[in-house]
Amino acid sequence: MRKIYLLFVSMIITLSMIACSSNLDVNSNPKVDESSYKSGSNDQNYIELSKVKDNVWVHTSYENYNGNRTPSNGMLVITSEGIVLIDTPWNNGQMKELLKLSKKIFNEEITTAIITHAHVDRIGGIDTLKDNGMDVLSTSQTAQEAEKNGYTKPQPTLNSEQTIVIGNKNFEIFYPGEGHAVDNITVWLPDDKVLFGGCLIKSLESQDLGSVTDANIEQWPLSVEKVLEKYANAETVIPGHGKWGDIELIHHTVELFTK
């Protein structure tokens, strides 16, 4: 009887040690328990990450543009097959920092990128992505514009209106027409009701249209109206620059053309 008792106690101790060991292994994995992260020593490699939803984060980088320190937003979407990047930061130094930071926080690699148009604040870090063997997707129009503007050419595999599936996430690509740029697309996450409007959509604090060097001023409001009609149920709208919010950002962008 004593031998049975000792064996029972030994089994309990062994199971307790296994359980404790298991807990330690779990806790050693990165925990995403913050709503924002920052990394980098100066603007050439500085990155901010801000939580929108559990699997949707905004990355923000900064560049001196026309004498002003200008923020630019992109997006990270965590899927069951890695992280999908929507637009790069301004430059390759920031892109390298974003790769390191996202790996540290999420313990996942960025596997795919979608470029929404061929301006520096959307595509400036493409060489880092290509050097790391990642799929960088765009429309054929953006690929042509990228080549024309001196950037490495993305893979022109996206149509002007389609849904692509990566892991457990759907990404709805939509080209509403010319606006801020001739090739600007939006990306919609239907499961999360998050719309990445990019530079087609302005933040609420914007009092003007910003850079209009490549803009089609006549077409822009018509394109925004198409976005508003198509994604009227958007809960979160992320602009290319400035603070994100709700559907009011799209209404505000339309109103800017009446001022």
| Residue range 176-182: mean pLDDT, rounded | 98
| Residue range 120-130: mean pLDDT, rounded | 98
| Alpha-carbon separation of residue 248 from 58, 203, 204, 234, 239 (angstroms) | 19, 9, 8, 10, 11
| Alpha-carbon separation of residue 79 from 25, 108, 189, 215, 254 (angstroms) | 23, 9, 12, 33, 33
Tokens matching residue 149: 């503007």
Q: How many beta carbons lie within 10 A of that of residue 137, not counting itself? A: 21
List the domain boundaries for the chain. Answer: 34-256
Is the pLDDT at 9 greater than 70? The verdict is no
Per-residue pLDDT at 6? 37
Is the pLDDT at 101 greater than 70? The verdict is yes
Tokens matching residue 248: 């009011």
This prediction has a pTM of: 0.87
What confidence tens digit (pLDDT) does each residue in 66-76 have?
A: 889 999 999 99
CATH of 34-256, one of 3.10.105.10, 3.60.15.10, 3.40.50.2300, 3.40.50.300: 3.60.15.10
Contacts of 194 (CB under 8 A, 6+ apart): 52, 53, 56, 188, 234, 235, 236, 237, 238
Of the chain, the percentage scoring pLDDT greater than 70 comes to 88
Tokens matching residue 46: 């500085």
Per-residue pLDDT at 177? 98
